[in-house]
Chain A
């Protein structure tokens, strides 16, 4: 080996094991794009209108109601193309994106690899240039794919009918509650049965969507083993019970083997069972919502089915229901009639639209490509590897002093684990959030848990099937290193990050309506009123 290669391998490995990465994030001090605007600067010079066209189009706006015409041009940033490109490339270098890091630290989100060939398919003009108002005759291929994905979801869930209209998991949950309400209205129980039961470890959107549709929410706490408390469910059930909504496994990754007892009890009490299967990554081909006694469920295609999360969407939440509830599904729907596909209005019982048109077609296409590539056996293998990865990682992580996996000691978990740094915190004063900030110094992302923190000092880690043993080891090594720092040199953690451009962010502004600004215009308004106050 030559000297240079030898030095590189010395610096990268110790005893055959990779050293922690000497990562450093880029820092560009890049302003907000509005601040980069230069008056008169242009990315594209649009040619002057030819006389003939100008004449033909000068009445184009006359059909619009007067009140809808803007009086001022939008104040968009004025910039050349290369400056725009530079701006976004720089910002992209200041993130820890899914394709850049071993993204297992964002538990509950199923951060698996999104194959790039599926991006290519989605960007193919045959997909990207479709218009939602095109005649059904001209989009038979796309409708075929919708139809196929319906069949796929039916097979994976055991349900009888599917809608792919919702553009996020939360929208699908909302959609499922809308179906519940429509069903209740049709059967005369709406307003009489007005309580929805959920658990504290279910996703916060479950309770939130129920409340949005006017339901009262009853939350169950876990029993000592971490399972939702069956006795509490018994107490909660009453003639006012409308539905149960639950995840399984919950965020703890513990599978609730008594789930059928839960759904049977709810059904016996006259309630409907809804399964939040946003994340089904440990269950594909192994268990199904139908056999567990559910009437409805939903899948996040942007989790289990390997499509991008896309910064909070657009994505797809696939709503799946039993035959009894089919007529309430959103409109329009895709139907196969006499050998060709049609887009039909879903009829008078339908909840109508939960989203515009048919939903996010390009995501449906990606999920279809992914699933068809794997086939039925492959889908099951996905889950098996995800579960294996998770249990391997739990086994390695639990060797780290100060870390534990509360509830169900000694039991294996499904696709993720909610860990607790409670002991490390008691010993060193270091919080889980601080560990997350320090983790970024090694180029990995890390997340705690939903609010509120039922598990103290939580960390939620979900390895999925995408990462290799070496990837998982790298993440574990980072955690081990940080835990060691906490016990030996906590100051390094308290003053982190050291290798990232943005230092301690004062998150308190996010809780302070007087200081937050959600839009550039809002920011300007607050700034101006502050300046006015100062000069007064």
Chain B
């Protein structure tokens, strides 16, 4: 079999948490001085120990010392060091090591850290290389993290064992830590990475769905595109599910922007809040967004271009959330969240929202707003 798993440990991830520093960027020294013991290495070891079942078939490719070699050895795995840095590890180290591991085409890249680490990894490896996060940070808004370190291990084992190596697109989110320390919470969407799809959501013995999330997203997009009214303006938000719709329409848009379409044609690319208000003045518009997996935000995270005024004007009945059934289930029954910061638009968004979850298939899902 000869499996190669890449590993990056951000040794200082999470140290800000216990001393309420809300993050660790730039404050690690302060936290360590307060006596916080770094946990990321131990969490990585916990996840890695699941990989022992592959025995000599598996090698961990990583950096020296606390960058990964220590954690791999503690888990009893053989490892190969491809990057040496005597220091404690920095964003630089994460990025360089991630790039190297991608060039070596390891089977899966595991990293232990938080949202900041996820961003550094995402920027280095792009959105199609398989990456899985071992939760070890203070903030973990990104969908790339497994729920616990041992869940990360189990998921990695399953992924490495399957032939199809199916991945799904996961959001990489981060808060600006300086803002956060001053009490503002506004995570934004930084991009997407590919991450193992949890087969738990797929495997039922009685009914086997051959369709993974990617196929479902295509079905959703086909359904949305076929139902488009020629005169109406469609404002399509960022996200991997909405991106499939944008790709089916004409014009150069991006996965991270809010774009406007009329008659299947891009009319406004990377629109700002004021541009959207201007475009929709006196016209029929529909908003298509997706929800953040596991969290449920549909407005106010990575799509602040949809302003409170716009939401009031367009109305909840003209909002469609595009989400696969497994994405809805990842919310574990929690409602969607519209973080509007304005009472009137919050009232407008409170209630049931239409979800397009397959071909000619909808769900009604509760939304709470504040």
Contacts and interface: CB of A to CB of B under 8 A. Distances in A.
A49 to B, nearest CB: 48
Given A235-B351, A511-B166, A452 B361 contact: no
A328 to B, nearest CB: 23
B291 to A, nearest CB: 13
Contacts of A220: 363-364
Given A200-B363, A221-B333, A494-B53, A453 B201 contact: yes
Contact of A218 (B151, B161, B363, B366): B363
- Indicate the member of B161, B207, B359 with the most A CB atoms within 10 Å: B207
Contacts of A510: 208, 210
B2 interface: no
Contact of B363 (A221, A231, A436, A448): A221
B333 to A, nearest CB: 7
Interface in A198-241: 200, 204, 207, 211, 215-222, 224, 229, 231-232, 235-236
Interface in B311-370: 325-326, 328-329, 332-333, 351-352, 357-366
Interface stretch (A114-122, A480-488, A501-509): A501-509
A355 B153 CA distance: 49
B210 A451 contact: no
Nearest to A515: B163
B163 A509 contact: yes
Interface residues of B, number: 42
Contacts of B352: 231-232, 235-236
A454 interface: yes
A475 B364 CA distance: 38
Nearest to A217: B361
Contacts of B182: none
23 contacts: A200-B363, A207-B361, A215-B360, A216-B360, A216-B361, A216-B362, A217-B360, A219-B357, A219-B361, A221-B328, A221-B333, A232-B366, A429-B50, A433-B200, A447-B205, A448-B204, A450-B206, A451-B203, A451-B204, A451-B208, A452-B201, A453-B200, A511-B164
Contact of A452 (B326, B332, B364): B326
Contact of B329 (A211, A431, A452, A513): A452
Contacts of A232: 352, 364, 366
Contacts of A103: none
Contacts of A449: 204, 206
B209 interface: yes
A338 interface: no
A506 B201 contact: no
A30 to B, nearest CB: 22
Contact of A429 (B150, B207, B210, B212): B150
B154 interface: yes
Contacts of A431: 154, 200
B204 to A, nearest CB: 4
A448 B205 contact: yes
A232 B209 CA distance: 26
B289 to A, nearest CB: 19
Contacts, number: 112
Interface residues of A, number: 45
A511 B333 contact: no
B202 A426 contact: no
Contacts of A221: 328, 333, 363-366
Nearest to A222: B333
A456 interface: yes
B162 interface: yes
B78 interface: no
Contacts of B332: 456
A512 B164 contact: yes
A457 interface: yes
Contacts of B50: 429
B148 interface: yes
Contact of A453 (B166, B204, B363): B204
The 10 closest A-B pairs by CB, nearest first: A508-B162, A451-B204, A219-B363, A235-B352, A216-B360, A232-B364, A217-B361, A508-B163, A508-B164, A218-B362
Given A218-B363, A426-B148, A511-B202, A451 B164 contact: no
Contacts of A450: 204, 206-207
A229 B208 CA distance: 27
Contacts of B366: 221, 229, 232
B213 to A, nearest CB: 11
A217 B223 CA distance: 12
Interface in B279-299: none
A433 B166 CA distance: 19
Interface in B187-211: 200-210
B151 A506 contact: no
